[in-house]
Amino acid sequence: MESPTPSLPPAGKAGGVPADADIRALDAGRPVEWLKFGWAMFLKNPVIWIAIMAILLAINIVLNFVPVLGGIAAAILAPIFGGGLMLAVRSLDEGGDLRVDHLFAGFRGNAQELGILGLLYLAGLAVMVVLGMVVGGGAAMSGAILGGGHSMGMGVGGAAMGAVVMMLLMLVLVVLLFMSISFAPALVVFRGVAPVDAVKASFAAWRKNLGPLLLTTLFVLVLGIVATLTFGLGWLVLGPVLVGAGYAAYVDVFA
């Protein structure tokens, strides 16, 4: 029996950059409705959803086998595929069908803007790695200097301190990057927002709803670990649910 779709506000279709007043501040319990909506969207056509996710996973696996260029291509393509998946959920939400070629819909309508989003995402990843190496290396060097370099133990302690600092910094940078990119593909395909403005609006939405969105992210991380432990097969179900939840969050947050 098909699960009923949880009620959501009407999807905004107006163009232009959303003003701060257009960004709703939501209560902490709202993410539960997003996940319920994502599950309901998955149940509408689980076979096609699983096929879409299998193709997407296969593409990313192939790209990961290509040194350097594969990772660059994956980063640039991520928002393009993300835009197509948003269009897929919108089709289901409005009573339409779901097709495998929805995965590639981002290449047809907003490919240039979504590609620029991918380049911005890639630039963010590069900055994150460089800063992590610089700050982490500096912390390790400072630890060695403060330890006087008189023993191997001091050197190991400095390296360990550098590693901890680098991990904490990388965690912060990952969160900031995710805040900037998570809503951007939907803003591009549904509102025609320019890539840089979409990044700014995505970050503003997170800033206004930091509590609910962070709690959702932590819960999703736990689900992601469980899905990965099933040799990655769990992502064939979890992936579509999260795509639907992401769409629901976009509709909820942007008036």
Would you call 209 exposed, middle or buried from its count of C-beta atoms within 10 A (0-12, 13-18, 19+)?
buried
pLDDT digits (tens), the chain, 255 positions: 344 455 554 444 445 667 666 888 888 888 889 999 999 999 999 999 999 999 999 999 999 899 889 999 999 999 999 999 999 999 999 999 999 999 999 998 889 999 999 999 999 988 888 877 776 655 555 555 555 544 444 445 555 666 676 777 777 888 888 889 999 999 999 999 999 999 999 999 998 998 888 888 888 889 999 999 988 889 999 999 999 999 999 999 996
Residues in CB range of 137: below 8 A, 6 or more apart: 162
Strands (E), the chain: none
In a domain, 10, yes or no: no
The domain of 99 spans 29-122+183-253
* Degrees, nearest 5: CA angle 230-232-233: 75
In a domain, 197, yes or no: yes
| Cβ count within 10 A of residue 25 | 10
Q: How far apart are CA 192 and CA 199, in angstroms?
A: 13
In a domain, 134, yes or no: no
Q: What is the pTM of this model?
A: 0.83
Report the number of distinct structural domains present in the chain: 1
In a domain, 146, yes or no: no
Q: Are 190 and 149 in contact (CB under 8 A)?
A: no
Q: Are 115 and 80 in contact (CB under 8 A)?
A: yes
